[in-house]
Amino acid sequence: MELNERIKKESLISLDPIKTIAGLKEVLTAQIADAHQQIQELAYKTDAESDKLRVTYSEKIQWATNLLTRCSD
């Protein structure tokens, strides 16, 4: 991932106030992308902590996807 893309994603995920639905959608999309990347980085790790993190990131993806879907309705 390019440095500029990473910086943009980090700024979207930060705790700055979200003022619009479009802003919320961008933040949720960035969180989903970040969680996917974290899962990929854990791909070859088999320890218990990595397993817990995979579940946590999967739940984060599911939660953000559900909220993103509700924003689109």
Q: Where are the alpha helices (DSSP H) in 1-73?
A: 3-13, 21-41, 48-72
Instruction: Provide the whole-model pTM.
Output: 0.77
Q: Residue 68 burial by CB count (10 A; 0-12/13-18/19+): exposed, middle or buried? A: middle
pLDDT tens digits, residue range 8-51? Answer: 767 766 767 778 888 888 889 988 999 999 999 999 999 999 99
What's residue 26's pLDDT? 86
State the total domains in the chain: 1
